[in-house]
Amino acid sequence: MATKQVNLQDISRPKSVQVIVNPAPSRKIPLLAILNSTFRGVGIAWDISVTHGPGDGRRLARDAVDAGVEVVAVYGGDGTVMEVATGLMGTDVPMLILGGGTGNLVASELRLPSDLEKACDLICGEKYRAKYIDAGVIGERSFLLRVGCGIEVGVVEEASREMKDQLGKWAYVFAGIKTLQKIPEADYEIVINDGETIHSKGIACVVANAGTVGVGRLTLSPAVDVDDGRLDLFLVRKANIEGIVQLAGKVMGLDRVKKTEEEQAALDASELVSHWSVKKVEIKTDPELDIQVDGDVVTTTPQVIQVKPRALRVVV
């Protein structure tokens, strides 16, 4: 707990903010009016940049850093947040997240307000707070949330834009149920921290930097922490009732309930969802599987995934 307090820093109110906006997922709110009244009211100079395609968020963030902006704000979904974050990694310029997407998982992970005015207000006092968070790296690509293969890819593909517009976050739940019924098993070979090797069949493998799953306060596990200098590896071995119950127990934190030795032995004998804390992991599968990275299916197994500690400064 002491480490987390040291990581929090109080910073004087910024003189300038660049707001990067993805117009695609924008909610029906008077965005410009809210930004103007909130920032201008406390003397913060602000400007806006609009993304038009992939890569724009990263480029615009870099441009803002080069221009000497003190805070870069991002309004859009998690994909836009990740692009802007990539542009800010390696700098000390804090990112302010103004959630404008369907899931807003990064904002949820950091317990940031969903209301736009309240999010803007985070930097409008005499002082504001920032902290460093970790990122993961897969190949040449960074991620803030998680990467996954198996059922995770199916969920990403099933949760269409139309479904998300109609159901919001619950689109991912229904997509998960549908995918669970048809996902095949694969053979996994997993090497942890260049040491332990695991051979297992499974229906899903997830490497998480953040635990938020997008429905309320549910999390992959209470142990997952975005600033602990590690990643969390989950292997779901079978898609049956016992596996689903165990996974739900981890998500809701029920696996932390104290059990008798007899109950714990029975659980260990039937463990179908395994969890490791790692700094580096290599994943191979047979057959080769697609991998989603923060919601985009962008690569395939095999891959090496590792943590990038204190990669990004964010307003909290």
Q: How sure is the predictor about 223, in pLDDT bands with cuts at 50, 70 and 90? A: confident
Specify the pLDDT at position 175.
Answer: 52
Specify the pLDDT at position 295.
Answer: 74
Does the pTM surpass 0.85? The reply is no
Q: How sure is the predictor about 214, in pLDDT bands with cuts at 50, 70 and 90? A: low
pLDDT digits (tens, 9 = 90+) for 198-209: 999 988 888 999
Q: Which domains does the chain have, with CATH numbers?
A: 2-125 (3.40.50.10330), 141-310 (2.60.200.40)
pLDDT of residue 246 exceeding 70, the answer is no
pLDDT digits (tens, 9 = 90+) for 176-190: 555 555 566 889 999
277 Cβ partners below 8 Å, 6+ apart?
A: 223, 230, 231, 232, 233
pLDDT of residue 244 exceeding 60, the answer is no
Specify the pLDDT at position 254.
Answer: 44
For residue 117, which amino acid is it?
E
Q: Bridge-partner residues for 315, per DSSP?
A: 130
For residue 279, which of 306, 310, 311, 304 has the smallest C-alpha distance?
Answer: 306
Rounded CA separation 106/129 (Å):
17
Rounded CA separation 132/90 (Å):
11
Specify the pLDDT at position 287.
Answer: 94
CB 172 within 8 A of CB 155: yes
Of the listed ranges 14-23, 101-110, 174-183, 184-193, the least confidently predicted one is: 174-183
- The tokens of 132 are what? 């460093």
Specify the pLDDT at position 248.
Answer: 47
Q: What are phi and psi of 134, to 5 degrees?
A: -85, 165
- The tokens of 291 are what? 């991998």
pLDDT digits (tens, 9 = 90+) for 32-48: 999 999 999 999 999 99
Q: How sure is the predictor about 270, in pLDDT bands with cuts at 50, 70 and 90? A: very low
More confident residue, 251 or 310: 310
CB 195 within 8 A of CB 276: no
More confident residue, 221 or 76: 76
More confident residue, 225 or 155: 225
pLDDT digits (tens, 9 = 90+) for 20-29: 999 875 567 8
pLDDT digits (tens, 9 = 90+) for 44-96: 999 999 999 999 999 999 999 999 999 999 999 888 999 999 999 999 999 99
